[in-house]
Chain A
């Protein structure tokens, strides 16, 4: 246990007892890791970012309960903290995988955090750090180059954004750190890990919104993606601040949600991304509950919810401040006199074209896979096929678009596959 950048390569020759390597420390990878470790298996978890938790650690809430992701993450972190059979590396990217099923050799590169393991998370470095990370939707305003993910980060250690830090030219953090934790000249390290099985839990990326030119994502700052909007809501919850529109900092009154932005579209993603309908309904319901001054309208082709998530739709239908319109948004145009955004919609129910003005638009973007591991078979869309001949086990949303609960379920099922030797 520990983010031990000094961990030695496992030297056992008994390949049967080799640990299971899990690539990706988001909710799925974490789940596979803790499920296996509690079943008595040794696991090594690697994550490319400096903190575990992946996408959901930046999210505001989950559907259908509208509860915070940190709650479940914290339980999982606690399970990691207390389990001696889990070791993990953050800032770790995959270099190559050699060997075969049962006896893999995996080389990973550790990017320097610029703050080492002696960090006590006292926060002195961030206090004196003069450099701010560029403003980004959903990022805490004024976040310093020396930062920690959020109050519930894991590991609870600061790191430095290498893009922003001036290193030795500034070095103020070096002066205040009492624990010799600052290492501005740290260089990348390489580690080899021997593993019996590999679970690939590299998750998803959001489809590139700039590719849907009709929606003017590149031109209009008030056109945001669903993930950006999720992070904005998370920042509002975290800082207890109001939701404001990116262009002018004013409170938006009308927000439009454009479903199937990129998905179910032959020119972009031919498949359905499965989570975006529930996610937009969640956003609309969150606005309804917490931002009484904001109205939401959702434009959809089909409302796709499964099982008990159906109740999100029922709840939304009952709310006066949420409008659901079956219609495809053709174009998003700048409003008159640079105010607002105009949506051109084909209303499917009436067959008419409609034009309407909104203060902000959220694009319900689809999900794409994050391919990292060479040698894995993929389907026509680039997602990993479930059954691989190689002893590598793809899991959750790098296999097909799915929500958190399904991902956790699949990560648990993949853990069982990894135990079959």
Chain B
């Protein structure tokens, strides 16, 4: 008798693509039925075909199936084909990860297929239907912080797409740096002509746009809450509080600290920075001999190690207008490399064509104010080994230093600003995902994110606004944003058992958890990126997702039949990161790279989500070893959840100690890292590890 609330589970097995040759499907379904009472089974030789899918759908309808295990190819091959409304579907990767990589028809291959099937049935038994998390109060408004060129472009772009934008600017006027300068660089439409500053139209459209509220001379007092429902308190404003769904931080840059440029003559009246010169020409007479020093404090380990990207072209631009304003002027430009990329090359050629502008590569030896002129000594130049130039004015092309994002005043446990990667820029670490941010729903744009010129800042503002809109729309659907876009599961905490140990609040890479004074975690599920690192961090095992939790993985571990020590069939549990290691395993399958049939694979969202209890469950269940394979850690990490792999390494140290106290060899637990392309390596890793475990011998807890 089926009772209300009872689940009805089915197993669909495909025997196509060599699966039927490698595995005895009848035996497999028998084993599955034994493991799960009342299980409905169907077998088909091409489950993904129209006929196969029709049969599957018929079964689901007839039996009222609400949990379905599909044993076939990788979920990366046939994906939505097996999805059905109202049915929880889990996949058993019999093709890429059993039939194609293990010897067909062998007992060990069969045992692997049966175990992997039992594991997924056990998982289906323990997981719940998920209800998405959607904040009660939702706002589609967007806050843009900073009224420079990136902020203006961002705000206007959002308003034009139909979103209400609040633009907060600290100063009394919009435009930022771009609003103060004399001339702009040419654009790609006309690469050889300096442009008049054109912010006026943008500012006007913005001020007149009904979708934009501008708050001048205003700063942020605090931002709290989560995507879809951030509460922003404003300082010195007619409105004291705003509710917004997402935030774009476009707070810009400041010139490199001039105090450090004394060796280049700064401090003298006759030595100016690019920014100062931009103002100077609007007021003063241009002298006759001007010398530009490029990379002043940039590309230098003792100053700014990076290239600020804009200074070469900004200096060339100034050289050009110097010549326009004072046709008698002689201009010298001392550079390391002239970096006028793309179409700016044309503009570089214009400068080169002017006989009164002399450009040379060189190293500045000294700059000294002689009273009537500044004496600049240049070595290693293309002219001579050592040249001395007397200039009336020296312009230092100083680099860009990002403004701080702590002005956002985020009320987050992990800090007030956006995490910075290199050189204090709040940039993304990921080349393919330049707007990746560790504070969900808060995006950096423009020069606070990376050094860039105005055209790029404008594009960057628009891109960040797109991400802000996307985040709001995803939150409205209760879905995660990148990289687990569309995931509707979210972490739920069983607070009765929480001991306020703060590990989840410290280890969440995205700052999802705030905490009370006592240290009790206060989750903000809409900030969550669903990596599950908090599952791995919690010693009390109180955190779980509907479809991925302590019980679901423990049940999978325990569903494996472990032969006794005399059978000489070791069992190795392999936790595989879904992001890179799992596709690498699939590719090993596609290339038919054979590996040991003693492995039992559990995909995880991130290695960082592995909880210690799973390790002890596995050891007490009799597994001989546990192998964890994830994405590369280190400076150039590839972990999509920032430090999941790194955390696993750290936790591994503690685990080893635990193992030693249990009188077990610490080598039984190992962590390996692969790139997605390393399918040959992953085969070797598995085989070498299994060999090592065979040498160590069976887990003594096996027969206990």
A117–chain B nearest beta-carbon distance, Å = 10
Q: Does A99 contact B (CB under 8 A)?
A: no
Q: Does B675 contact A (CB under 8 A)?
A: yes
Q: A408-B434, A412-B467 are in contact. List 5 more A-B contacts (CB 8 A).
A: A121-B77, A310-B299, A408-B431, A413-B157, A416-B161
- Distance in angstroms between the alpha carbons of A83 and B677 in the assembled complex: 25
B345 lies within 8 A of A271 (CB): yes
Q: Does A156 contact B (CB under 8 A)?
A: yes
B466 lies within 8 A of A39 (CB): yes
B474 lies within 8 A of A38 (CB): yes
B16 lies within 8 A of A75 (CB): no
- Distance in angstroms between the alpha carbons of A75 and B579 in the assembled complex: 7
B675 lies within 8 A of A409 (CB): no
Decide yes or no: A400 and B76 within 8 Å by CB, A34-B485, A416-B463 being known contacts. Answer: no
- Distance in angstroms between the alpha carbons of A412 and B449 in the assembled complex: 15
**Which of B268-276, B304-312, B403-411 has 4 or more CB atoms under 8 Å from chain A?**
B304-312
A349 proximity list for chain B (CB < 8 A):
380, 382
B306 lies within 8 A of A310 (CB): yes
B473 proximity list for chain A (CB < 8 A):
38-40
Decide yes or no: A410 and B459 within 8 Å by CB, A120-B73, A310-B305 being known contacts. Answer: yes
Which residues from 56 to 106 on chain A have a C-beta closer than 8 Å to any C-beta of chain B?
Answer: 62, 65-79, 81-84
Q: Does A216 contact B (CB under 8 A)?
A: no
Which residues from 139 to 184 on chain B have a C-beta closer than 8 Å to any C-beta of chain A?
Answer: 157-158, 160-162
**5 closest residue pairs by CB, A with B:** A72-B432, A151-B587, A413-B462, A412-B463, A302-B337
- Distance in angstroms between the alpha carbons of A83 and B83 in the assembled complex: 12
Q: Does A206 contact B (CB under 8 A)?
A: no
- Distance in angstroms between the alpha carbons of A83 and B470 in the assembled complex: 14
Q: Does A152 contact B (CB under 8 A)?
A: yes
Q: Does B357 contact A (CB under 8 A)?
A: no
- Distance in angstroms between the alpha carbons of A309 and B640 in the assembled complex: 21
The number of residues on chain B lying at the interface, defined by a beta carbon within 8 Å of a beta carbon of chain A, is 91
22 pairs across A/B with beta carbons < 8 Å? Answer: A1-B80, A35-B470, A39-B469, A62-B431, A65-B636, A65-B638, A75-B640, A79-B482, A120-B17, A121-B77, A122-B16, A148-B590, A151-B591, A237-B677, A238-B677, A240-B680, A305-B307, A306-B309, A308-B422, A326-B361, A400-B188, A416-B466
Q: Does B676 contact A (CB under 8 A)?
A: yes
The 0/1 profile, CB within 8 Å of A marked 1, for residues 664-704 of chain B is: 00000000000111011000000000000000000000000
Q: Does A162 contact B (CB under 8 A)?
A: no
- Distance in angstroms between the alpha carbons of A306 and B447 in the assembled complex: 13
B470 lies within 8 A of A151 (CB): no
- Distance in angstroms between the alpha carbons of A79 and B73 in the assembled complex: 19
B350–chain A nearest beta-carbon distance, Å = 12
Which residues from 238 to 271 on chain A have a C-beta closer than 8 Å to any C-beta of chain B?
Answer: 238, 240, 264, 270-271
- Distance in angstroms between the alpha carbons of A49 and B280 in the assembled complex: 55
**Which of A131-139, A329-337, A352-360, A380-388 has 4 or more CB atoms under 8 Å from chain B?**
A380-388
**Nearest residue, chain B, Cβ from A2:** B80
A15–chain B nearest beta-carbon distance, Å = 16
- Distance in angstroms between the alpha carbons of A272 and B188 in the assembled complex: 13
**B interface residues with partner A (beta carbon < 8 Å):** 16-18, 45-46, 48-49, 73, 76-80, 157-158, 160-162, 188-189, 191, 299, 301, 305-309, 337-346, 349, 361, 380, 382, 422-423, 425, 427, 430-435, 450-452, 456, 459-460, 462-463, 465-467, 469-470, 473-474, 477, 479, 481-483, 485-486, 579-580, 583, 586-587, 590-591, 631-632, 636, 638, 640, 675-677, 679-680
**A interface residues with partner B (beta carbon < 8 Å):** 1-2, 27, 34-35, 38-40, 62, 65-79, 81-84, 118, 120-123, 148, 150-152, 156, 178-179, 237-238, 240, 264, 270-274, 302-311, 314, 326, 348-349, 379-381, 383, 385-386, 399-402, 404-406, 408-410, 412-413, 415-417, 419-420
B342 lies within 8 A of A271 (CB): yes
B191 proximity list for chain A (CB < 8 A):
379-380
- Distance in angstroms between the alpha carbons of A416 and B248 in the assembled complex: 14
A307 lies within 8 A of B18 (CB): no
B308 proximity list for chain A (CB < 8 A):
307
- Distance in angstroms between the alpha carbons of A51 and B328 in the assembled complex: 60
A39 proximity list for chain B (CB < 8 A):
466, 469-470, 473-474
B466 lies within 8 A of A415 (CB): yes
A86–chain B nearest beta-carbon distance, Å = 11
B49 lies within 8 A of A179 (CB): yes
Total A-B Cβ pairs within 8 A: 243
**Nearest residue, chain B, Cβ from A84:** B80
- Distance in angstroms between the alpha carbons of A66 and B679 in the assembled complex: 18
B46 lies within 8 A of A179 (CB): yes
- Distance in angstroms between the alpha carbons of A271 and B366 in the assembled complex: 34
B78 proximity list for chain A (CB < 8 A):
120
B434 lies within 8 A of A68 (CB): no
A122–chain B nearest beta-carbon distance, Å = 4
A72 lies within 8 A of B433 (CB): yes
B301 proximity list for chain A (CB < 8 A):
314
Decide yes or no: A71 and B466 within 8 Å by CB, A76-B432, A304-B341 being known contacts. Answer: no
- Distance in angstroms between the alpha carbons of A83 and B484 in the assembled complex: 11
B46 lies within 8 A of A120 (CB): yes
- Distance in angstroms between the alpha carbons of A240 and B477 in the assembled complex: 44
Decide yes or no: A122 and B342 within 8 Å by CB, A383-B188, A416-B465 being known contacts. Answer: no
B466 lies within 8 A of A348 (CB): no
- Distance in angstroms between the alpha carbons of A404 and B361 in the assembled complex: 30
A307 lies within 8 A of B49 (CB): no
A81 proximity list for chain B (CB < 8 A):
76, 79-80
B343 proximity list for chain A (CB < 8 A):
271, 379, 381, 383, 400
A82 lies within 8 A of B579 (CB): no
A272 lies within 8 A of B340 (CB): yes
**Nearest residue, chain B, Cβ from A76:** B432
B579 lies within 8 A of A404 (CB): no
B48 proximity list for chain A (CB < 8 A):
120
A413 lies within 8 A of B460 (CB): yes
B382 proximity list for chain A (CB < 8 A):
348-349
B675 lies within 8 A of A151 (CB): no
**Nearest residue, chain B, Cβ from A415:** B466
A405 lies within 8 A of B463 (CB): no
- Distance in angstroms between the alpha carbons of A152 and B452 in the assembled complex: 34
- Distance in angstroms between the alpha carbons of A77 and B158 in the assembled complex: 27
B433 proximity list for chain A (CB < 8 A):
72, 75, 408
A162–chain B nearest beta-carbon distance, Å = 23
B342 lies within 8 A of A385 (CB): no
Decide yes or no: A307 and B463 within 8 Å by CB, A34-B485, A75-B482, A178-B16 being known contacts. Answer: no
B481 lies within 8 A of A38 (CB): yes
Residue among B80, B339, B676 making CB contact with A304, cutoff 8 Å: B339
Decide yes or no: A419 and B430 within 8 Å by CB, A34-B485, A79-B486, A304-B341 being known contacts. Answer: no
B486 lies within 8 A of A82 (CB): yes
Residue among B452, B590, B675 making CB contact with A67, cutoff 8 Å: B675
A65 proximity list for chain B (CB < 8 A):
431, 636, 638
A402 lies within 8 A of B482 (CB): no
Residue among B380, B459, B590, B636 making CB contact with A151, cutoff 8 Å: B590
A327–chain B nearest beta-carbon distance, Å = 12
B638 proximity list for chain A (CB < 8 A):
65, 67, 71
